[in-house]
A and B are shown apart, each in its own frame.
Chain A
Amino acid sequence: MRTTMAIAWKELQVYFTTPTAYIIGAMFLIYAGIIFVLDITSQTPEASVRSFILPSSTFFILLSPLLTMRLLAEEQKLGTMELLLTAPVRDWEVVIGKYLASLGALIATIALTVYYVIMIYSFGDPDTGPVLSAYLGVILYGAAALSIGLLASSLSSNQLVSSVVGMGTLLVLTFVDEIGARLSGVPADIINNISLRVHFSDFSRGIIDTSNIVYYISIIAVVLFLTVRSLETRRWR
């Protein structure tokens, strides 16, 4: 556990001592800000976070792989993986440590939007429940996206390849429900349930459904498990 935290802390420091986190944070704020402004200047503005947080979260398709692409790919490129994996550290400790760091950076980025929430509260009277559930949903959604980004990072020593693979996977997993909408019966159910976006929409309406939480947690667990496996196979090659 201590080693996991040491790795997480080191990676967090890298995020905030290099421009990475700031650039990504700024990009996210611009995007979320535009959507927020469009929303409150519309014909029927609503005192809720729903209308801007749902579209903002699609930005995670870009953001998460950018946050995670470095984590494992760079270690492989620099050869530092050799030192990391010959230290008395288990592979899963490396993966969890890196994952927690990216989660920290993501939550910090999401926290920047609290500024909008304060504005909504001071100019309107939103329901607090949906606000909190929307944030819970957004964090879960982002956490799942990060795990996929981390898996992509373990697959290649090239950061660009990692990020593109991560973005492509997320793009498909997010919008796959569009295909589901054109089908019916069991295939439609399966496809809809895979979609990252479908499980998120309940949260933004203020509904905390256990099945949605289980969905995100399972995605994270399975994908991180695959990441550990992927790291192990690097040794066997």
Chain B
Amino acid sequence: MIELDGVTKYYGNYPAITDITFRVEKGEAVGFLGPNGAGKSTTMKIITGFIPPTSGTCSVAEYDIVNQSIYARRHIGYLPETVPLYADMAVSDYLRFMGKIRGMSRERIKSRISEVIEICRLQDYRQSYIGKLSKGYRQRVGIAQSILHEPDVLVLDEPTIGIDPIQVVETRNLIRDLAGEHTLIVSTHILPEVSMICERVIIIHEGQIVAVDRPENLATRLRGVERIEIDVRGPSKEIIAAVKDVEGVSGVERKPNPGSADFTTYEIEGTRGGDLRALIAASVVQKGWNLLRLQAVGMTLEEIFLRLTTTEEQLPES
């Protein structure tokens, strides 16, 4: 549905994105993850046809975004990062205008406005001036206009930025509901959002794709180190020494657990490879200490993200 091939964009001499290549299939929900200034918005502006790429090609619904722009744009619903709205228009007038410039028929506009107002829960604000709405409601109006024409592709740039926590949850739920019907690209720098909404994550850093995968695969694949937590009752120093002796363990750290003086929690880092859990358990139990808990700790997306973007570890694309 969306295809980018070697897309590069320069602002003057500064490369905002370099050689971005990915595909999004019909009905897929893809998260676009990266720190501020990574090139997320630039990529989205290219996909939606607002700015042309310096080189490379981008197509939406089989239409080239530069050469067949009008056809491609018919298939896109877009919510830019700043949620641009006309402050001096009422919500329903604004939606009607957006419908008209997208070439919808009068009847269809009328029925769709009622539908999107319901979907975005704007019933009480139909006649309110957009300038008077709170940020969260403006966000909803922004989403409402993006789905008004039932586009095949929905592009949402940082849809939950700057709104209060309750509205963030509501907005996320709304987007998740939309994900079923549309091909969806959501950009964000908030990590839990991606695992909530998306089936696939594209991590972008300094204008380049550093990883593409499912949120859960990303965690396993990235586990160059394996992490295990254990709760043990016994003498700390000896435990650390003993666990360190286990083959494959690269580090042991005592974690503060003020709740209980009874046992201590240790965090063990092992090099990638076989499962260390059996070996660790055996070595602890052999020494006669009580092993109360042993757990493999997966990496959170947050850690993956930090690892990817701070150490710039390059991963082969799947």
Taking beta carbons and an 8 Å cutoff, which residues of A are in contact with B? 2-3, 6-7, 10, 13-14, 17-18, 78-90, 235-237
Contact = CB atoms under 8 A, between A and B. Distances in A.
A10 B73 contact: no
Contact of A86 (B73, B85, B88): B73
B100 A86 contact: no
A237 B52 CA distance: 10
B67 to A, nearest CB: 14
A18 B48 CA distance: 32
A87 B148 CA distance: 12
Given A3-B103, A7-B101, A79-B80, A88 B74 contact: yes
B80 A88 contact: no
Interface residues of B, number: 29
B102 interface: yes
Contact of B49 (A3, A86, A237): A86
B98 interface: yes
A186 to B, nearest CB: 43
Nearest to A7: B101
A121 to B, nearest CB: 40
A236 B53 CA distance: 9
Given A14-B88, A88-B70, A236-B52, A83 B103 contact: no
B73 A235 contact: no
B315 to A, nearest CB: 32
A96 to B, nearest CB: 13
Nearest to B71: A88
B37 to A, nearest CB: 18
Contacts of A86: 48-50, 73, 76, 78
Contact of A80 (B52, B73, B85): B85
B84 interface: yes
Query: Which of A3, A79, A87, A235 counts the most chain B CB atoms within 10 A?
Result: A87
A82 B82 CA distance: 10
Contacts of B145: 83
A83 B78 contact: yes
Contacts of A79: 80, 82, 84
Contacts of B80: 79, 82-83
B120 to A, nearest CB: 16
15 contacts: A2-B100, A7-B101, A10-B97, A78-B87, A81-B84, A82-B80, A82-B82, A83-B78, A83-B84, A83-B145, A87-B98, A87-B102, A88-B70, A236-B52, A237-B11
B223 interface: no
B169 interface: no
Contacts of B233: none
A101 to B, nearest CB: 13
Contacts of A84: 101
A84 B52 CA distance: 16
B196 interface: no
Given A3-B103, A6-B97, A86-B78, 16 more contacts: A2-B100, A2-B103, A17-B88, A18-B88, A78-B85, A80-B84, A80-B85, A82-B82, A83-B80, A86-B48, A86-B49, A86-B50, A87-B101, A88-B103, A235-B51, A237-B11
